[in-house]
Amino acid sequence: MIRPVILAFVPLVLLVAPCFAQATGHVQVKFVKAALIVGGGGGSGTLIYRGRHYRFIASGFSVGVTAGTSVNWLEGTASGIKDVNDFAGSYSLVGGGGAWAGGVGGVSLRNEHGVVLMLKGPKAGLEFAANLGGLTISLR
């Protein structure tokens, strides 16, 4: 006797583990800068990633049309993070802005791990900048 075969199709569901999925983080940083053609600065901030807070320090340089001193309070996003350690590294940037007792600034940065920072915010001081530079971020 021949028995009928019943075939059942079960949909295949693939789950991506959270450690491999990319998530966007939120960045807040205070950066103090002084420059006359060549400038330097440093600061500290917080990365909020997957509900956790990670403190970091930042140091950087700039070369270009730059003059003055300023304090920047920048805030924005960090995208392309697969692991929180991807956030640390050397970033290259192109940015501009100005301040005369107060103003605005913004930068777009990318590191060797593919993390992209989009930051903007107010600045205080006396500065004009249209420059190229670099920034190094280290997690604490």
Confidence of residue 71 (pLDDT cuts 50, 70, 90): confident
Which of 84, 87, 82 is CA-nearest to residue 117?
A: 87
Confidence of residue 6 (pLDDT cuts 50, 70, 90): low
Q: Rounded CA gap, 84 and 56, in Å? A: 11
101 contacts 48 by C-beta, under 8 angstroms: no
Average pLDDT, the chain: 77
Q: How far apart are the first and last CA of the chain?
A: 73
The arithmetic mean of pLDDT across residues 35-44, rounded, is 80
Q: Rounded CA gap, 101 and 71, in Å? A: 10
Q: What is the pLDDT of residues 78-129, one digit of tens each?
A: 999 999 999 999 998 755 554 445 566 777 889 999 999 998 888 777 666 6
Coil, strand or helix at 86: helix
Confidence of residue 10 (pLDDT cuts 50, 70, 90): very low
